[in-house]
Structure 1
Amino acid sequence: MKVYRFLTGPDDASFCHRVTDALNKGWELAGSPTLSFNHATNTMYCGQPVVKTVHGKEYDPSMKLGEQ
């Protein structure tokens, strides 16, 4: 089974650490990162899709994808 996550957060070191953590847990990049600017808060936000193949499980909408 392949699972998908879209990591998001402010464009800062903590976002990079979240992506790095996911990669070190077996997730793979699944496309280009995205950027969006929030004018109200004057903040840049990042997004990065990641995927992971999980063996021996079936998809269940209640599963916590980050724990796979």
Structure 2
Amino acid sequence: MQLYRFLTGPDDASFCHKVTAVLNKGWHLFGAPTYGYDAETRTMKCGQAVVKEVDGVEYDPSMKLGEY
């Protein structure tokens, strides 16, 4: 089964650490990162899609993807 997640966060070191953590759990970058301005909070936001192949598990909408 292939899993997909879209990570988001502020444009600071915490976002880089979030992406680094999932890469070290076996996830892979999927596509280009995104970057945009949040007018409500007046901050820049980042986003990055990641995917991971997991064998022996069937997809269930109730699963917590962050646990893989």
Normalising by the residue count of structure 2, what TM-score does the alignment of the two structures yield?
A: 0.96
Q: Deviations over 1:12-68 (max 9, x none)?
A: 100000000000000000000001101232100000000000010000000000101
What are the ranges of 5 or more consecutive residues in structure 2 without an aligned counterpart?
none
Paired-residue identity, %: 69
Matched, 1:47 2:47: yes
The equivalent residue for 2:67 is: 67
SS in 1 for 2:31: coil
Runs of 4+ in 1 over 3 A off after TM superposition: none
Higher fraction of strand: 2
Count residues with an aligned counterpart.
Answer: 68
Task: For 1:63 and 1:40, locate their aligned partners in 2 and report how far apart those are by CA, in whole Å.
Answer: 31
Alpha-carbon RMSD: 0.6
